[in-house]
Amino acid sequence: MSRSSSPSGSGLHCPPPDTGSHSPRVLMGHGGGGLLTQQLIRRVFLAAFGATVQAETDAAIVSVPGDRQAFTTDSFVVRPLFFPGGSIGDLAINGTVNDLAMVGSMPRFLAASFVIEEGLPVAELQQIAHDMATAAAAAGVQIVAGDTKVVERGCGDGVYITTTGIGELRPGIALAASRVQLGDILLVSGTIGDHGMAILKVREDLGFEAAITSDTAALHGLTAAILTCCPKTRLLRDPTRGGLATCLAEIAEQTGRGLEIDEASVSVAPEVAAACELLGLDPWLVANEGKLVAIVPAEDAEAVLQSMRDHPLGQEAAMIGRVVDDHPGRVVATTPLGGRRLVPMPVGELLPRIC
Amino acid sequence: MSRSSSPSGSGLHCPPPDTGSHSPRVLMGHGGGGLLTQQLIRRVFLAAFGATVQAETDAAIVSVPGDRQAFTTDSFVVRPLFFPGGSIGDLAINGTVNDLAMVGSMPRFLAASFVIEEGLPVAELQQIAHDMATAAAAAGVQIVAGDTKVVERGCGDGVYITTTGIGELRPGIALAASRVQLGDILLVSGTIGDHGMAILKVREDLGFEAAITSDTAALHGLTAAILTCCPKTRLLRDPTRGGLATCLAEIAEQTGRGLEIDEASVSVAPEVAAACELLGLDPWLVANEGKLVAIVPAEDAEAVLQSMRDHPLGQEAAMIGRVVDDHPGRVVATTPLGGRRLVPMPVGELLPRIC
């Protein structure tokens, strides 16, 4: 059957109209797959990500050495899009880089997909893309593939970004819950609760002055230092959504081991602690975006601690506890006064849309 | 600094409360990263995807043979979530499988990330996950990684799904716009416009009775048949958002070659053509989700056509045009009466949120 008459048909030499191509805000038409979409991709994403994006084919071709690859995805819906210490762009890169790093891989390639709400200022999208490019360059990863969709006003909230990453697995490294053994030592790379409180402070317009900034950072360099120092490292995890408490509770559940944590050894920055006190929040439940938990054999713990402290992102690292015979599958915190307290996994949300 | 008092703290032997775990609708708490999130993942995603999902680690470990891999991502924001012939679940699998197939790879692993609007019935999410699992099994891909986020009512529209895939590249296949040569033949695998009109019909409650169903399908089997028949195939593309016209215009632009298309050879199902006439829409601009365009050397065109027609998804395949010396970078359609018409790339959206 032949083609119907085309409402957008034009003469052979009629150049395409330019409607909307310089709009200061994202239009529904930017998601239609036509010229406007191409222009948005060029103006925002290719301008920021440069030649690494393989925009002309349906799929990018990448080369990841080794028999096995690490593969992970995360959607980022943080509100607001910009906050002290970073933006959704930084988070979207660092979050996926960190998930790749936590399984002992070196992050190599990222794909980034955008669900944009109609009306988002193009300048904000450009800033976000710029932040992503900067974070990707810092993490040594290439953004090679992407997608852009636009939804109507009231069907989104600025922009949601999903990043998916492929990492190159280090030979000789096998991180797994099943490898955690009695007597192993737990370390944390620094203060906890910074990211979540930075978001909450800016979002809720809290009435205090203390500067709290997100700790968003790419941790692959720190994990490399740990794994180089101690190839027998059992497990690495980043305590993001749900905070340190959720991370520890998951480890206990997955390993079936008891974890005993010395409360006093877990650092919280004074301004974060003060804000938590004010709001009645537990910093152990507040999200981090640039911290990790490592579990290592006891005999290597001192050396790993030193290797972490020698890294810019681990200067405040500390040993916080150990794997014990008691209370299998549960986390117990010991207080400075000798008390013992179960650290449960939180049920629902503490802070929505923190990442 | 020691831990603040925990508002969710409880005694050592107090079991976690069960609030919300059997809610018939998705709650904000399902996105918090705690127990509710775990329960949603188990109840919906692990129940559907089974053991392929590596839910306990930050990143999945996959094994894709070869020196190079195909890698692609797409967000799906189709409205409504269910439509004649499929759902957002089918689309999210088939769309990414097809992008992998179009670069000549065999789709192997998928990651799926969900941005869910608070209030979505859990039963709908379960149906979508079921559709994804069925489509993934049919396409021979494993869903190995995922993420779940929840946004407030009015900040989403049911659910948005981003899928990202890794494919195994076939040795000896090199599909690229730069390989398209003068005299090459263009083929299309079947009727066009089915998916977009199926969505539009159900969305706009159009006043006609004809059954129009989406053509959503995984095309990796059809691409395998084409590439086996003709390893020298130049280019494969699936004409999704923006339809056949956008696909052809992009090919012309990227190759710098002129494309001459015989209008009469492009099939449109009678009910789709009738609906397009009624609405003043051009079926060449309407999205497809289970069709492909192939460009092959002229000497192989007949054999490729036969190999396509021998496949269930290519029974109505046709040669539709060729690569010409004239009008480089542009697509010209020749009409049955001998007329010639430029096929421009559409500017903005024809139909929003079609995929």
Phi, psi of A25 (to 5 degrees): -125, 155
Contact B342 A20 (CB under 8 A): no
What tens digit of pLDDT does each residue of B238-259 get?
A: 999 999 999 999 999 999 999 9
Residue type, A136: A
Q: Quick one: tokens of B64?
A: 């894709």
What tens digit of pLDDT does each residue of B215-231 get?
A: 999 999 999 999 999 99
Count of CB pairs separated by less than 8 Å, A with B:
404
**Angle of CA points B216, B221, B225, to nearest 5°:** 130
Q: How far does the CA of residue A325 sit from the closest CA of chain B (Å)?
A: 16
Q: Quick one: tokens of A207?
A: 């009435």
Contact B169 A56 (CB under 8 A): no
Predicted local distance difference test score (pLDDT) of residue A348? 75
What would the mean pLDDT of A54-59 be, rounded to a whole number? 81
Q: How far does the CA of residue B333 sit from the closest CA of chain A (Å)?
A: 10
Predicted local distance difference test score (pLDDT) of residue B11? 33
**Banded pLDDT at B19 (limits 50, 70, 90):** low
Specify the CATH architecture of the domain B28-169.
Answer: 2-Layer Sandwich (3.30)
B311: left (phi over 0), alpha (psi -120 to 50) or beta: beta
Phi, psi of B327 (to 5 degrees): 30, 65
Q: Give the number of other Cβ atoms within 10 Å of residue A324's Cβ.
A: 16
Contact A344 B16 (CB under 8 A): yes
B238 contacts in A (CB within 8 Å)?
Answer: 58
What tens digit of pLDDT does each residue of B110-131 get?
A: 999 999 999 999 999 999 999 9
Residue A163 makes CB contacts below 8 A (sequence gap 6+) with: A73, A74, A76, A92, A93, A95, A96, A110, A111, A112, A113
Q: Where are the domains of chain A?
A: 28-169, 177-342
Contact B348 A20 (CB under 8 A): yes
CA-nearest residue of chain B to A320? Answer: B2
What tens digit of pLDDT does each residue of B284-302 get?
A: 999 999 999 999 999 999 9
Predicted local distance difference test score (pLDDT) of residue A207? 67
Q: Nearest-CA neighbor of A255 among A325, A346, A158?
A: A325
CATH topology of domain A177-342: Phosphoribosyl-aminoimidazole Synthetase; Chain A, domain 2 (3.90.650)
Q: How far does the CA of residue B49 sit from the closest CA of chain A (Å)?
A: 16
- Percentage with pLDDT > 90 across chain A: 79
Spatial strand order in the sheet of A293-296: A235-237, A293-296, A185-188, A318-324, A258-262, A331-334, A340-342
Query: Euclidean distance between the first and final Cα of chain A, in Å?
Result: 50
What would the mean pLDDT of B51-78 be, rounded to a whole number? 90
**Banded pLDDT at A187 (limits 50, 70, 90):** very high
Contact A56 B254 (CB under 8 A): yes
